[in-house]
Amino acid sequence: MTSPIHSCRHPIHCLVPPQMLERIAENGSQAQRKWALDTLTRDHSLRMARVQNMQHRASGPRRADILTEVLAGMPRRTIRTAQNTENVEGPVMRGEGDPPTGDVAVDEAYDGLGATYAFFWDVLERDSIDGDGLPLRGVVHFGSQYDNAFWDGQRMVFGDGDGELFLRFTKSLDVIGHELAHGVTEDEAALEYWGQSGALNESMSDVFGSLVKQYKLGQRADEADWLIGADLLAPGVNGVALRSMAKPGTAYDDPVLGRDPQPAHMTKYVSTLSDNGGVHINSGIPNKAFHAVATALGGYAWERAGEIWYEALRDSRIKPRARFRTFARATQRAANRLYGDGSVESKAVGDGWDAVGIEL
């Protein structure tokens, strides 16, 4: 086969911009199109079966449709470095299809955003944050010893950690998934970041963050650790993670960090003005509900519990100030719609919310 880039013996070492590949895939000869599609899909071994199927069909008449379909399954990632300042428009370190840089935070962000994109696409058929292929922008080395990561409405930003309490925030795949999921939640429900709606917003990020990791590792619900940020506590910190979805309130107990403040039941709901009304505290309640549903159902948590939660997030009755019960009822409707009234799934959802003290 003749490569369109004749000087390049090994396409994997070539830096061909994705736009050029797309053009080749669209307009090139049969062999060129195949090469371009191969290159575009290289990082996506999980989807190889589907892609091969498309390549098979790419010789047929539906070429444009197929191309759109193939590109819809492709992330478009750009990782910048803030160079330890707070400038989020620092130099681009790695664009889509670029080889690893050797900068571990850059490469973890690239891979983690790729794994998160793959989860949303493969499992939920969602094309990126907005469902329409939004390019994924990551920024690493933000700030100085910055103990945090966040979604700023346009990009996912990661600090290096201080090294004593927290390590770099790209280290946990579920934290990368957590940040991207904030973008999805903003797009679907715009849950106000305060009180119960804020805790729901947080919980959606923990749920999808954890599912991204479980999907990547191929773990069933009973094999998963259900921890958020298990990799980024520094050595010497007395704890296992930032949060535990299986046992909220047990993730750490440390002289500096204090004790994990998460409740696992409505009777322990924390009323506070700090943390935007306790959004990272009371998220333990819906987190536990999700864990209860997923483990009751067994198998892969993303397949039924995850699908039900995602459908509920997209429910038009979920308004920005939705409370726990409103969301719980949306999950019940979703379970009934997807699996039928009186189904095992529907019952598991009711039991899961009941376990955390929320009546449907």
d(CA 259, CA 109): 29
Q: How far is the CB of 228 from another protein (least distance, A)?
A: 9
Residue 245: which of 351, 347, 356 has the closest Cα? 356
**Position 274 contacts another protein (CB under 8 A):** yes
Q: Which does 315 bind (CB under 5 to 8 A by kind): another protein, Zn ion, none?
A: none
In the complex with another protein, the residue whose CB is nearer, 39 or 262, is: 262
260 contacts: CB under 8 Å, gap ≥ 6: 239, 243, 244, 248, 249, 250, 251, 252, 253
In the complex with Zn ion, the residue whose CB is nearer, 172 or 205, is: 205
Place of tokens 């009941």: 354
In the complex with Zn ion, the residue whose CB is nearer, 77 or 182, is: 182
d(CA 112, CA 172): 8
Q: Where are the alpha helices (DSSP H) in the chain?
A: 18-27, 30-40, 48-57, 63-72, 104-124, 173-188, 195-217, 275-282, 284-297, 305-313, 324-339, 344-355
Q: Which does 196 bind (CB under 5 to 8 A by kind): Zn ion, another protein, none?
A: none
171: its two tokens: 């280290």
Instruction: Please classify residue 7 by burial: count the beta carbons closer than 10 Å to its beta carbon, then call 0-12 exposed, 13-18 middle and 19+ buried.
Output: exposed
In the complex with Zn ion, the residue whose CB is nearer, 18 or 183, is: 183
**Position 258 contacts another protein (CB under 8 A):** yes
- Exactly one of 93, 136, 149, 264 binds another protein (CB under 8 A); that residue is 149
132 contacts: CB under 8 Å, gap ≥ 6: none
Q: How far is the CB of 82 from another protein (least distance, A)?
A: 15
In the complex with another protein, the residue whose CB is nearer, 257 or 355, is: 257
In the complex with Zn ion, the residue whose CB is nearer, 128 or 205, is: 205
Given the rule CB under 8 A, which of 88-96, 123-131, 160-168, 215-223 is the region that contacts another protein? 160-168
Count the residues of the shown chain that bind another protein, applying the rule CB under 8 A: 41
- Exactly one of 169, 215, 302, 324 binds another protein (CB under 8 A); that residue is 169
226: its two tokens: 């259900």
Residue 170: which of 114, 253, 92, 246 has the closest Cα? 114
36 contacts: CB under 8 Å, gap ≥ 6: 4, 21, 22, 24, 25, 28
**Position 66 contacts another protein (CB under 8 A):** no
61: its two tokens: 């008449």
Given the rule CB under 5 A, which of 3-11, 159-167, 205-213, 337-345 is the region that contacts Zn ion? 205-213
**Position 147 contacts another protein (CB under 8 A):** yes
- Exactly one of 127, 202, 307, 315 binds another protein (CB under 8 A); that residue is 202
What strands lie across the sheet with 136-142, from one edge to the other? 92-95, 77-81, 136-142, 156-159, 149-151
Q: Which does 152 bind (CB under 5 to 8 A by kind): Zn ion, another protein, none?
A: another protein
d(CA 55, CA 86): 44
Give the residue numbers annotated as catalytic, written as ranges: 179, 280
**Position 205 contacts Zn ion (CB under 5 A):** yes
User: Using CB under 5 A as the criterion, which residues of the chain lie in contact with Zn ion when the complex forms?
Assistant: 205
User: Using CB under 8 A as the criterion, which residues of the chain lie in contact with another protein when the complex forms?
Assistant: 147-153, 162, 164-166, 169, 175, 178-179, 182, 186, 192-194, 198, 201-202, 205, 229, 242-243, 255-258, 261-262, 273-277, 279-281
